[in-house]
Amino acid sequence: MSMSQTSELPNGSGAAAILGAGIGCGALGILAFWGDASESMGKALNIYNPSGTLSGVTTFAIIIWLVAWFALDRMWRGKTVEIMKVNVVAFALLAVGFLLTFPPFMDLLQGK
């Protein structure tokens, strides 16, 4: 495929991957926080006992990421979307992922 052809590719699939990754990172943070803040959620996320709650947090975050990526790709494939808006949402979700996995911030939100 020549460079001129690739440069004309619609950005929809790329935008879907970017937002999908943001959703996956955000989901990881939210699940980590939820599992830490709620005892019942912590138990529900314990799907592999040797690894505890972490097993459910990461498994469900991966599932949410892949499903979101797949759905967004089906919706945006072959289209050109406003990538800057996609980036803003993806970066916000990435920040959520970082903040909600940082224990002092998790404790702060829980009033510990």
Instruction: Give Cα 83 distance to the centre of its chain.
Output: 17
Instruction: Return the residue of 11, 41, 44, 67 that touches other proteins, per CB under 8 A.
Output: 11
Output 40 or 83, the one with its CB closest to other proteins: 83
In order of 29, 43, 86, the CA distances from 100 in angstroms are: 5, 19, 21
Report how far residue 77's alpha carbon sits from residue 100's, in angstroms, rounded to the nearest whole number: 31
Contact between 68 and other proteins by CB under 8 A: the answer reads no
Helix-helix angle 54-76:12-37, to 10 degrees: 160
Site of interaction with other proteins (CB under 8 A): 1, 3, 6-7, 9, 11, 13-14, 17-18, 20-21, 24-25, 28-29, 32, 36, 48, 50-52, 54-55, 57-58, 61-62, 65, 83-84, 86-87, 90-91, 94, 97-98, 101-104
